[in-house]
Amino acid sequence: MTDDSRLSQGSLLGMVPVPLGLFYFGQEGVESAVNGTVFNVQSGLETLVALGPWVLADTPGGRDVLRDLVHPAYREHVDTIQPDERSVVRTSSVSGVTAGGVVVRLNLTAWRVRDADGRLAGTALQTLPSVGMAVLGTLAGAGDAGHFARMQRVAKAGRRPAAILFADLEASSPLARRLSTASYFALGRRLVRAADQCVVEAGGLVGRHVGDGVVAFFLAGDAGSESAAARACITAARALRAAVADVASRSDLEPGEINLRFGLHWGSTLYVGQIATSGRSEVTALGDEVNEAARIEACASGARTLASKDLIERLEPTDAAALDLDPDRVTYTALGDLPTATEKARRDAPAIAICDV
């Protein structure tokens, strides 16, 4: 089994063990393969139905011996199998269940492997998603391999310290009223693409998109340290701000007509994980700091980038210097004291110390 196959069968939560030396359709082999993987007893039965003619032909002692070898749930199906020694390839479709309980279909192809003398050496199995290569190619081509890998690492949710970025388009309603629906949609798509690209290039995880807003997380575990994660968060925010001019130009707007406000914060105990359904896959995080980051962003009117003291003071000297910041000389303001402070910020997070970056 390849590592990718083992990881895929483990629903990205971990590599399943390789059941070496066990009969593939025996009780011990099935239970070993089923435990914690996308396969279940039903998918094993579907595989036996597909490969049964070969299995029966390869079993010394024939049908009676095979009936005793297979998993108890499969025994009644052994009598329906007819042996086949001549075919070279067999194909079928089998079911599986993801970690989220979603039933998926997998295309199974198996072929006979023979040695130089033509003697049977074994049987190779390959499974592929039932979705077509056109769809897979589009997703893979549009995505970033590094980001996919980071998403895999949070397939199993857990506590992960991280920097948090919230960004939102300021005064979007007047802009939406002025532009045609098609033009505003194109603007939103360009802005989201630019935001995601900036986050991905900085080594972050793209979170949810809500309206004209973007959320991202920069995990200390991915960046190598808390300081590196804080630096990546600020770097992504600055890169996105710089990208706004190009987005405006391509949308036939002046740069000053697109204003983003940013809220940057640190989460020491974020609970970060991936949510995958039949419709989408995204990374999300829970924790008080996520709500606080949203409050900081809402107060950043005037296209400001506001960062919390908790984030800035994570920066080690080298990372701070790379950002042209001196944490020892920064002065802070309480979020609730800002003239732009929202009612929710004054209610939920008035004492958070913030500064412009």
Copy the structure tokens of residue 276. Answer: 């995958």
Q: What are phi and psi of 260, to 5 degrees?
A: -105, 140
Answer whether 77's CB lies under 8 Å from 94's CB: no
Q: What is the pLDDT of residue 36?
A: 54
DSSP string, 263-319: EEEEETT-EEEEEE-SS-EEEEEESHHHHHHHHHHHT-TTT-EEEEHHHHTT--HHH
pLDDT (tens digit, 9 = 90+) per residue, 325-341? 999 999 999 999 999 99
pLDDT tens digits, 151-162:
888 988 999 999
Query: What would the CATH number be for the domain defined by 144-356?
Result: 3.30.70.1230
Write down the residue that tokens 């001019």 correspond to.
245
Domain boundaries, the chain: 3-134, 144-356
Contact residues for 308 (Cβ-Cβ < 8 A; gap 6+): 264, 265, 266, 292, 293, 296, 352, 353, 354
Residue 264 predicted with pLDDT over 70: yes
Residue 72 predicted with pLDDT over 90: yes
Q: What is the pTM of this model?
A: 0.79
pLDDT tens digit string along 100-149? Answer: 566 778 889 999 999 999 898 999 998 887 778 888 787 777 788 889 88
Q: Which residues pair with 284 in a beta bridge?
A: 273
Residue 196 tokens, joined: 């995601």
pLDDT digits over 301-318, tens only? Answer: 999 999 999 999 999 999
pLDDT (0 to 100) of residue 98: 64
Cα 18 from Cα 55, distance rounded (Å): 20
